[in-house]
Structure 1
Amino acid sequence: MGRAPRFDADTLLDAARELLLTRGPAGLTVQGVVTALGAPSGSVYYRFANRDLLAAEVWLRAVQRFQAGLAPAIGVPDPIEAAVRGALHVLEWSRANRADASVLMLYRPRDLLPDGWPTAVRPRNDAQLARVSAVLSDLARRLGDADPLRLRFAVVDVPYAAVRPALLRGNPPESALDDLVEATVRTTLAHPTTTTQEEP
């Protein structure tokens, strides 16, 4: 039986993620990973041919890990409960996976990849975006064709706003936020806001 590689992909990506979170996007470099791990440069370049591919994989892995629990959370029969669970998944996952959550909540892809997605991984990013869009579209349908703006506000924007300040401080989101997020989601989706036009 062959020996397992000393520096597997997850080990390299963990080191790259740490560089990102401690030094910012400019500090995420292949050489930085080599230095941090004491790894042969060839072992890093063998898996990640350049810095942009390394940065892209840090992002894609975090999204994949987040999405693994999103669909089950939203899969419950009652659509309002599904929306609540989808929003709370953001908080629960952020507590259990603070480093990956910090990647997704504190940065945007353009911060990591100012020149855009590398061609080799662009289809994977597109597929991840499509999965989230499909989940939200299905949830909107189950809610009786809910207004997409309200739904996105409730399920995406509210939990994002809840977890980001704590992650910026290097802390997990406070447990007390769960009740606040749940109440906001239920109120937003149960009582649609209406807009009135002012008379000319």
Structure 2
Amino acid sequence: MAPPRKHDTDVILDAARTLVLADGPRAASVAAIAEASGAPVGTLYHRFGNRDGVLTAAWLRALRRFQDRTLAAAEDPDPVEAGVAMARAALRFGRELPGDAKLLLNLRPSDLLDTGPDEEFRGALARMNAPLIYQLRRIADALLGHDGDREIDAVSRAIVDLPYAALRRHAHAEPLPDWLDDDLTTAVRTLLTSYRP
């Protein structure tokens, strides 16, 4: 049995995220991340390869945490209720993990990385996004009778764009306003219901 890791990966990724959000991507050098996390520089290079590896891991972890909540909420067989639950899950993510939400809202991978996203990153992103796209297709097909580009765009406006805009607007208000859940739920439900035949 391998010994437990001495320096917790989440502590390292939290430190990288904090540096990026406080002072911008350039502030998150390997040395700065090591100092902020308490992990030796050698540990960061061994575990992540380089600075881009640490920042990629932090960004993808934030996306995974968002998607885990959103996809768990998509279980309702009723397409409107599934969409509403997915939108509410986005707000829950913003409340529970505000640092991760700010990272996803404010920075694209190309903003973080010295070399830009590579094929491995793009492949990981496509695999991570596939279940979410499946749910959007399922909802579009159930409400609009088809899951083409226009229909996917229509349900995405309700399930993705409205929560994204609400989180972006209120990202620096901690905690998020309590009334936001009811207002967003009403807006998403109204838009999705309007698509019913």
TM, length-normalised to structure 2: 0.88
Q: Name the residue aligned to 2:175.
A: 172
Q: Partner amino acid for 1:98? A: P
Maintained 8 Å contact 1:66/1:93 = yes
Long gaps (5+) in structure 2 = none
The answer to which of 51-60 and 133-142 deviates more is 133-142
Q: Name the residue aligned to 1:198.
A: none
Within 5 Å, which residues of 2 pair with 1:5-84?
5-84=5-84
Instruction: Give the number of the structure whose alpha-carbon radius of gyration is greater.
Output: 1
Long gaps (5+) in structure 1 = 193-200
User: How many percent of aligned residue pairs carry the same amino acid?
Assistant: 37
Q: Name the residue aligned to 1:161.
A: 165
Shift of 1:6: 2.6
Within 5 Å, which residues of 2 pair with 1:57-136?
57-113=57-113, 115-136=115-136
Against the structure 1 CA distance between its residues 119 and 190, is the aligned structure 2 distance closer, same or farther, given a 3 Å change threshold?
closer
Q: How many aligned residue pairs are there?
A: 191
Q: Partner amino acid for 1:174? A: P
Shift of 1:115: 3.5
Distance 1:98 1:45 in 2: 27
Q: Deviations over 1:96-121 (max 9, x none)?
A: 11111111122222221364213444
The answer to which of 53-62 and 103-112 deviates more is 103-112
* CA RMSD, Structure 1 to Structure 2 (Å): 1.9
Shift of 1:62: 0.8
Maintained 8 Å contact 2:12/2:39 = no
Q: Partner amino acid for 1:53? A: G
Alignment partner of 2:191 out of 170, 185, 188? 188
Maintained 8 Å contact 1:80/1:189 = yes
Shift of 1:139: 1.7
Maintained 8 Å contact 1:52/1:118 = no
Q: Which has the higher helix share?
A: 2
Q: Deviations over 1:63-116 (max 9, x none)?
A: 111111222211112111111111111001210111111111222222213642
Distance 1:2 1:184 in 2: 51
Maintained 8 Å contact 1:162/1:173 = no
Maintained 8 Å contact 1:84/1:182 = yes
The answer to which of 31-40 and 51-60 deviates more is 31-40
Maintained 8 Å contact 1:150/1:188 = no
